[in-house]
Amino acid sequence: MSLGHTIETGLRSLLGHRLRSVLTTLGILFGVAAVIATVGIGQASSDSVTARITSLGTNLLTISAGSSVTGGVFGGAGSANTLTMADVSGLQDRQSAPDIEAVAPVTQGRASIVSSSGNWSTTVSGSTAGWLVTNSRTVGSGEFISANDAATRAQVIVLGSTTASNLGVGVGDLVLVRQIPFEVIGVLAPAGSQGFGNQDDLAVVPITTAQDELFGGSASVQRILLSATSPSTIGSAYLEADQILLQTHHVTDPSQADFTITSQTQVLSTAQAVTQTLTILLASVAAISLLVGGIGVMNIMLVSVTERTSEIGLRKALGATPGDLFRQFVIEAGTLTALGGLLGVATGLAVGYIVPRAANIAVTITPLPVVTAVGVAVAVGLVFGVYPALRAARLAPIEALRAQ
Amino acid sequence: MAAVAEVEVAWSAGAAVASGLGPTELIRLESITKVYGSGDGSVVALRSFSLTVDSGESVAVMGPSGSGKSTLMNILGCLDIPSSGRYWFAGQDVSRLNETELARVRNRRIGFVFQQFQLLAKLSAWRNVELPLLYRNVRNRRALALEALEQVGLSNRIDHRPSQLSGGQQQRVAIARALVTNPDLILADEPTGNLDTASSRDVLAVLRELNEQGRTIIVITHDPEVAPVARRTVHMRDGQLIDEVAA
């Protein structure tokens, strides 16, 4: 039998069982759509994490305090109070650290800010003028914290644009943080929100004010942000910072250091690994549903072979070879999955279009998962169609004819 | 198509040389034995069964159920192969062919008529008649199918589904399907087993007419009313030929 007639015969038989064909197709459709949508969401979040981290600048180094050890229990990075303002001035020394452009100590916590028209809870960071440079931000209106503000423990605050608009305040207004009045001296230019979190929802106060008035009166800093003079000098900046801190902390064995220096590249690769793992996890779940859809195809093809035993017998009596019947049933299975695959792509693309608009979740559709999902769907159909097709091809014509 | 041509050549060569059959001999069964199962549970369905049928003959094979006539029909129809013995069909030894080769012989040489009609319910009459032609890549299938339907007197029913036809009409569609490939042999297995008397008469008349036109017909039946359709009757019991009657 020619391929054209085999396909025609297969299609006719599928059309003869419309509901069954549609339901089987649905199994594959959802599998393919799920793979495309989950991989798309995973890809989008990975992209946004990458974009956020690179927007912070590839010449940024972060120094975290080491872990506290209380009775043998490690408190985790940053729990020890090993970084001080002395370290900050040490790092600012142009002589011993020529490749470090700016230094910003950070002590932060969440706090509720109250204005005359409302209140808003956000992350309040205590820092210095260097914060602006290390974070690659600019001031939209007013001015940023100055060295003088830090020296005088000024009760001044700089707000992110989202925070400012949520509180309904501008430059010159007064807000209360933990009952302490602060004057808004500046509002940052928007940096845009990407994926998780919002870079425009924050507040910055002088570090001295934060240490003394807001976060418990300790002179320690949680983190120190450093920016190298350029992305190419980040390696030497790293070494200079390491040397200075080992000296000021009197650590002779570098493996015993009570601080950790991480670069953006490290953070980036860690974050990418995390999102990649999540994407793989999501895609695996979706792939399993595709597999289940494939088993559904096999199931329906087996039912079809059993149901049409006498038809198979008749076709054999009329001259159908085992090869003819094998091809006919494989084509039926292949058609169901190919159709499911194509409709699945359409559904997946529709999800990719609707979800970002309806739920504010970014979806990035790339060709690879689309092609792969369809390819896998068709492969699944063929693989799961082979066994029922072999059953049909191997039926003895007499037995098959007798099965009425 | 080249492979098909070779088979045809092999066939004619076989007819002339290999078997030494006379030009009119279509079928020769030489001591055919068919055993189902093995060991203690084995059943001998045919014992050293021999039969010769000439081209243009009509033969009725009669016997009670269990006499081995269904087995004979399967072997004659190339639906099964014998356990031992030889089967010459149109000069070709078909007793050792594989499934694909047997399928080709069935498609090109044999037209089947079954007791249950075996029409596909979703296809119209002419689509049913067309079926065997699909397995041999013929171009003018619709024309051939309509011609065959005309021969059985159903030109006015070509687009009817089997469910819209009477039993007798359905069996005539089945006969048209058997005819459409212009086969050497029409093999009918209890063709009137599911029909009332009037329809039976119709169907038998069609078969007789086909034979008169020169077609070889073998009818397998247990019904004495059917046997007269053939000019020669063969009686079977316990897998053996017991006597032969020429009408």
Q: Which residues fall within 8 angstroms of residue A151, CB to CB, at 6 or more apart? A: A208
- Please say if the pLDDT value at position B2 is more than 70: no
| Interface contact A322-B99, CB threshold 8 A | yes
pLDDT band at A13 (very low <50, low <70, confident <90, very high): confident
Among A1, A12, A313, beta carbon nearest to B135: A1
Task: Answer yes or no: is the ipTM higher than 0.95.
Answer: no
Q: Is A92 helix (H, G, I), strand (E, B) or coil?
A: coil
Tokens of B175: 């006969």
A398 touches B: beta carbon within 8 Å: yes
Distance (Å) from the alpha carbon of A397 to chain B's nearest alpha carbon: 6
| Interface contact A398-B79, CB threshold 8 A | yes
Overall average pLDDT of the A315-335 stretch: 90
Q: Is A365 helix (H, G, I), strand (E, B) or coil?
A: coil
pLDDT at B147: 94
Of the candidates B21, B76, B93, the one whose C-alpha atom is nearest the C-alpha of residue B216 is: B76
pLDDT at B148: 94
The least confident of A61-75, A241-255, B58-72, B164-178 is A61-75
| Interface contact B122-A12, CB threshold 8 A | yes
pLDDT band at B12 (very low <50, low <70, confident <90, very high): very low
Overall average pLDDT of the A155-178 stretch: 91
Overall average pLDDT of the B177-191 stretch: 93
As a whole number of angstroms, the distance between CA B56 and CA B26 comes to 9
Choose from A236-240, A388-392, B175-179 the range with maximum mean pLDDT. B175-179
The edge-to-edge listing of strands for the beta sheet with B25-36 is B43-54, B25-36, B84-89, B92-93
Average pLDDT, chain A: 84
| Interface contact B118-A314, CB threshold 8 A | yes
Overall average pLDDT of the B172-178 stretch: 94
Single-letter amino acid, residue A288: I
A1 touches B: beta carbon within 8 Å: yes
Overall average pLDDT of the A3-29 stretch: 85
Tokens of A400: 């098959």
What one-character-per-residue DSSP string does A51-86 give? HHHHHT-TTEEEEEE---EETTEE--TT-S--EEHH
Distance (Å) from the alpha carbon of B178 to chain A's nearest alpha carbon: 8
Distance (Å) from the alpha carbon of B107 to chain A's nearest alpha carbon: 4
A16 touches B: beta carbon within 8 Å: yes
- Please say if the pLDDT value at position B17 is more than 50: no
Tokens of A371: 């092609």
As a whole number of angstroms, the distance between CA B13 and CA B197 comes to 45
The answer for A177, left when phi > 0, alpha when psi is -120 to 50, beta otherwise, is: beta
pLDDT band at A193 (very low <50, low <70, confident <90, very high): low
Q: Which residue of B has its CA nearest to A400?
A: B79
A20 touches B: beta carbon within 8 Å: no
pLDDT at B5: 41
Which of B120, B141, B186 has the highest number of chain A CBs within 10 A, making it the mutation to test binding with A?
Answer: B120
Touching B: A residues 277-316, CB under 8 Å: 310-311, 313-316
User: What DSSP designation does B77 have?
Assistant: T
Of the candidates A360, A365, A367, A361, the one whose C-alpha atom is nearest the C-alpha of residue A349 is: A365
Beta strand extents in A318-367 (DSSP E only) = none
Choose from A250-254, A292-296, B7-11, B13-17 the range with maximum mean pLDDT. A292-296
Residues of A in contact with B103 (CB under 8 A): 316, 319-322, 324
Choose from A74-78, A270-274, A302-306, B173-177 the range with maximum mean pLDDT. B173-177
As a whole number of angstroms, the distance between CA B13 and CA A3 comes to 32
B120 touches A: beta carbon within 8 Å: yes
φ and ψ at residue A397, rounded to 5 degrees: -60, -40
pLDDT at A293: 85
pLDDT at B13: 38
Q: Which residues fall within 8 angstroms of residue A4, CB to CB, at 6 or more apart? A: none
CB atoms within 10 A of CB A8: 15
Question: How many domains does one find in chain B?
Answer: 1
For residue range A89-129, list pLDDT tens digits in order.
888 888 888 888 888 999 888 889 999 888 899 999 999 98
For residue range B57-67, list pLDDT tens digits in order.
999 999 888 88
Q: What angle do CA B52, B57, B63 make, to 5 degrees?
A: 65
pLDDT band at B166 (very low <50, low <70, confident <90, very high): very high
Q: Are the CB atoms for B185 and B61 separated by under 8 Å? A: no
Beta strand extents in A115-163 (DSSP E only) = 119-127, 139-142, 156-159
| Interface contact B135-A397, CB threshold 8 A | no
Q: Containing domain of residue B140, as a range?
A: 2-246
pLDDT at B38: 83
Overall average pLDDT of the A170-183 stretch: 91
Q: Which residues fall within 8 angstroms of residue A220, CB to CB, at 6 or more apart? A: A65, A81, A82, A83, A84, A107, A211
- Please say if the pLDDT value at position A67 is more than 80: no
Q: How far is CA A63 from CA A26, A123, A153, A226, in A?
A: 53, 19, 24, 8
A399 touches B: beta carbon within 8 Å: no
- Give me the CATH number covering residue B88: 3.40.50.300
As a whole number of angstroms, the distance between CA A60 and CA A43 comes to 25
Strand partners, A125: A108, A204
B136 touches A: beta carbon within 8 Å: yes
The least confident of A5-14, A213-222, A294-303, A323-332 is A213-222
List b or e across A252-288, with b for residues whose CB sees 16 or more CB atoms inside 10 angstroms: eeeeeebbebbbbeeebeebeeebeeebeebbeebbe
Q: Is A220 helix (H, G, I), strand (E, B) or coil?
A: strand
Among B104, B106, B120, beta carbon nearest to A317: B106
Q: Which residues fall within 8 angstroms of residue B180, CB to CB, at 6 or more apart? A: B111, B129, B130, B132, B133, B144, B145, B147, B148
Among B74, B116, B136, beta carbon nearest to A319: B136
**Block residue for tokens 């009329």:** A318
φ and ψ at residue A183, rounded to 5 degrees: -95, 130
Distance (Å) from the alpha carbon of A330 to chain B's nearest alpha carbon: 17
Q: Which residues fall within 8 angstroms of residue A66, CB to CB, at 6 or more apart? A: A77, A80, A82, A257, A258, A259, A260
Q: Could you tell me the sign of the dihedral formed by the alpha carbons of A389, A391, A395, A399, in that order?
A: negative
The answer for B153, left when phi > 0, alpha when psi is -120 to 50, beta otherwise, is: left
The least confident of A149-163, A260-274, B64-78 is A260-274
Among A16, A318, A322, beta carbon nearest to B132: A318
Q: Which residues fall within 8 angstroms of residue B148, CB to CB, at 6 or more apart? A: B129, B176, B177, B179, B180
Residues of A in contact with B80 (CB under 8 A): 396-398
Q: Which residue of A has its CA nearest to B178?
A: A318
- Please say if the pLDDT value at position A79 is more than 60: no
| Interface contact A314-B100, CB threshold 8 A | no
Residues of A in contact with B77 (CB under 8 A): 317
pLDDT > 70: percent of chain A? 93
Of the candidates B136, B73, B77, the one whose C-alpha atom is nearest the C-alpha of residue B104 is: B136
Q: Which residues fall within 8 angstroms of residue A332, CB to CB, at 6 or more apart? A: A10, A13, A14, A301, A304, A385
B138 touches A: beta carbon within 8 Å: no
pLDDT band at A214 (very low <50, low <70, confident <90, very high): confident
Overall average pLDDT of the B190-195 stretch: 89
pLDDT at B187: 94
The least confident of A287-291, B50-54, B110-114 is A287-291
Overall average pLDDT of the A285-307 stretch: 86
Residues of B in contact with A310 (CB under 8 A): 118
